[in-house]
Amino acid sequence: MPQHDRLPVRRSHFDDRFDDRFNDTVTRLDEAGARRRRRHFDDDDEPAAPRRAPDPAPLDDGPAAGDRWSTWDVGQHGPAPHPDWLVTELAAVDTEFGVLKTGKEADVHLVERAVPDTSRCCVLAAKRYRSAEHRMFHRDAGYLEGRRVRRSRETRAMARRTAFGRDLLSGQWAAAEFGALCRLWHLGVPVPYPAQLHGTELLLEYLEEPDGHAAPRLAQLRPGPAQLRALWDQLIDALVVLTGEGLAHGDLSPFNLLVHRGRLVLIDLPQVVDIVANPQGPSFLARDVRIVTDWFTAHGLPQQLADAGRARVLMGTPTLP
C-alpha cells in the first residue's frame, strides 16, 4: 500500500468542469461580496448609534489551516487492521484538493488528511452522494429487490417512491457501497480500501499512479495482447470470488474498472446484487459478464479465452432455487 506524500495539486488532472465550477463559484462570491458591500454602504444612512449591542463574534472551532477537522472520530471505520498509510490521528485536518470526477449520482473529490506540523498525511478519494433532487440518474428499482429493510414503513415508502422514501434511498447508497466494499475487501477482491463512511460521504483509498494522476479506467486503455490477457485473468479471478459469494457487481463496465499500476480494481459498487435473493440477479450477472467480455474481445482477446473465462464465472454461481 503506498504511503502517500503530500501532493502538489495538478488542476489539469481534474474533470474539465472543475475550472468552470471554480470560476462560477468565484463569480458568485464576487457578486455576494458586492451585495454585502452595497448593503454596508446603505447602512451609512442609519442612525450612528446601534439599536442593540452587536452580536458576539462567532465561535470558530475549525482548524487554523485546512477545511475541516478529520471526521475519523465521527465516521464508521473500514476493515481492521487499518493500513499504515491511513491517517487516523484525531488531530488531523482535511483539506479539499478539488473535484476528481463528477458522476451521475455522486461526485468524487480529492481530500488530503494530514496532521499539522508532521509528515503524517494521506490523500483520499471522497465519494459524495448527491441528495435525491440533485441526481441525474436513479438506479432501477430492480436492484433493490431482495434487499431486506428492517422497518415496513420504510419499505413501503421506498417502494412508493415518496419524498421520504427517495431520501431514504439516496442515504442508503453510500452505506450500501461502504458495506459492499468492506465485504469484498475481506474476501480479497481487488477494491479500493474503504477508509470511512460518514453520512453520504465515503472516503476511499485514492488509486494513484506514480506520476500523481488517478489510475485510468480500463476504457481509457489500449492494452497489448499480454497486458490484455493479464487483465482478463484478474477480472475472471475477481468475478469467480464474487459469484462464489452469490454476488454480482450489477453495473460492471470498463468505466467501473480501474487499472492501478497493472492491477485491475473494481469500483462503483453501491448496487451490488444478491444473485439468489434478487429475482433479477441472474440477468444482472449475465449483463455484467456480457459487457466486459464484449470489451475484451473487441480489444483482441481470443474468443476461446473469453468463452473459457465466462464459463468459469457462471460455473461458480450458486444453485438458484
Ligand X SMILES: Nc1ncnc2c1ncn2[C@@H]1O[C@H](COP(=O)(O)OP(=O)(O)OP(=O)(O)O)[C@@H](O)[C@H]1O
Q: Which is nearer to ligand X, 130 or 310 (CB)?
A: 130
Q: Which is nearer to Mg ion, 239 or 258 (CB)?
A: 258
Query: In whole angstroms, how close is the CB of 243 to ligand X at the nearest point?
Result: 21
Given Mg ion, ligand X, none, residue 215, with its beta carbon under 5 to 8 Å by kind, binds ligand X
Q: Which is nearer to Mg ion, 170 or 256 (CB)?
A: 256
Query: In whole angstroms, how close is the CB of 25 to ligand X at the nearest point?
Result: 21
Summarize as ranges the residues that interact with ligand X (CB under 6 A). Answer: 100-101, 103-106, 108, 125, 127, 192, 204-207, 214-215, 217, 255-256, 267-268
Q: Which is nearer to ligand X, 125 or 197 (CB)?
A: 125
The C-alpha atoms of residue 82 and residue 87 are separated, in whole angstroms, by 9
Residue with cell 499480454: 226
Query: In whole angstroms, how close is the CB of 202 to ligand X at the nearest point?
Result: 9
Query: In whole angstroms, how close is the CB of 140 to ligand X at the nearest point?
Result: 14
Summarize as ranges the residues that interact with Mg ion (CB under 5 A). Answer: 256, 268
Given ligand X, Mg ion, none, residue 214, with its beta carbon under 5 to 8 Å by kind, binds ligand X
Q: Which is nearer to Mg ion, 287 or 312 (CB)?
A: 287
Given ligand X, Mg ion, none, residue 166, with its beta carbon under 5 to 8 Å by kind, binds none
CB atoms within 10 A of CB 257: 26
Residue with the shortest CB distance to Mg ion: 268
Residue 71 to residues 265, 268, 308: CA-CA distances in angstroms?
Answer: 26, 22, 46
Given ligand X, Mg ion, none, residue 240, with its beta carbon under 5 to 8 Å by kind, binds none
Pairing of strands 247-248, 194-198: unpaired
Query: In whole angstroms, how close is the CB of 202 to Mg ion at the nearest point?
Result: 13
Query: In whole angstroms, how close is the CB of 265 to Mg ion at the nearest point?
Result: 12
Q: Which is nearer to ligand X, 105 or 201 (CB)?
A: 105
The C-alpha atoms of residue 190 and residue 238 are separated, in whole angstroms, by 7
Q: Which is nearer to ligand X, 96 or 154 (CB)?
A: 96
Residue with the shortest CB distance to ligand X: 103
Given Mg ion, ligand X, none, residue 204, with its beta carbon under 5 to 8 Å by kind, binds ligand X
Query: In whole angstroms, how close is the CB of 153 to ligand X at the nearest point?
Result: 29
